[in-house]
Amino acid sequence: MDKVKAIVLRAAGINCDMETEHALGLAGARAERVHINRVIDSPAMLDGCQILVVPGGFSYGDDVAAGKILANQVIHHLSDILHRFIENGKLVLGICNGFQVLIKTGIVPGLNGAGQLTLAGEGVTLTDNECGRFMDRWIYLQPGTDRCVFIEPGRRLYLPIAHGEGKIVADSPERLSRISDGGFVAFRYVDADGQTGPFPVNPNGSQDAIAALTDSTGRVLGMMPHPERFVRWTQHPHWTRLKQHDGLTDGMTIFTNAVNYVKSNF
C-alpha cells in the first residue's frame, strides 16, 4: 500500500486524540482526527481507512459511566458498518477511555463473535480502581497471547497509565476462565521481572491482572495503558539513565505493528 489510512475518533471530552494521531503518523500511517458526528453522518468514510482508533480521555465527561455514552452512539449508529469493518480484516484499537468504549459495546473480548455489538455487553466490564482513586504512573505489561497483531510476542512493555476506572471484572469465574484460557488477554500487569502481583504491580485490582483484551480475530485491541504517551525515548521517566535510545519505544510497537500488518495484508 502507498499509505495506510487511519481514523482517530473524537468526541467531547476526548483529550488524547492529537497524541494518537501523531503516533500513527510516526508509524507511517496517514491519520485523521474525525468527530463521531461526522462518522455518523457519513459512515462510509470508514470504508476508506484500515485502522480505527478510539483514544483516551473522558468522553462526554464519563457522566453516566466511563465510555458509556460514546459506546451507545457507536452501537445505535455504527453497529453494522463497524461489524463489516472488522469482518473485512481491518484493525480497531481502543486506548483507556477507548478501551472502556470497546468493552461496553462488547467488541472486546468478543466472546459472542467478532464485531457483534450489544448494549448488554458480555458479562465483562471496567469499574472503579480497587485503590479507590485515580492512578497516574508507569507500569510493566506482559503479552498474554500471540494472536493479537498489535503485539510483539514476548516483548515486555513499560507504559504509563492514567485512569480511575480500569479494574477488569467478569461476572463469573467461568467467564473469566474462558477469557484467560481462550487467548483473549492481550496484556497483564507485571513487575520488572514479568511476575504478576498485588498493588502496585496490579494498579487497579483487575482480575487475573488483565490490562488489555483482544477479540477472537486478534485484530481488535483494547488497553488501559497509553502507548501514545511513549513514542519518543525522551518521554521515558528515566530517559537520561537509559543505556540506549535506539529502536522502537514500547509505545511505538503497538502502532508500528498495526501499520505493518495493514501494509502486508491490504
Active site residues: 96, 226, 228
Cell 503497538, located at residue: 254
Transcribe the chain into DSSP letters: ---EEEEEEE-TTB--HHHHHHHHHHTTEEEEEEEHHHHHH-GGGGGG-SEEEE--B-GGGGSSSTTHHHHHHHHHHHHHHHHHHHHTT-EEEEETHHHHHHHHHT-SS-TT-TT---TTTTSEEEE--TTSS-EEEEEEEEE--S--TTS-TT--EEEEEEES--EEEESSHHHHHHHHHTT-EEEEEE-TTS---STTTSSS--GGGEEEEE-SSS-EEEESS-GGG-SSGGGSTTGGG-S---S--HHHHHHHHHHHHHHHH-
| Residue 35: count of CB within 10 angstroms of its CB | 14
**How many whole angstroms separate alpha carbon 74 and alpha carbon 188?**
27
Strands 135-143 and 157-163: antiparallel
| Residue 263: count of CB within 10 angstroms of its CB | 15
**Can you say whether residue 251 is alpha, beta or left, with left for phi > 0 and alpha for psi between -120 and 50 degrees?**
alpha
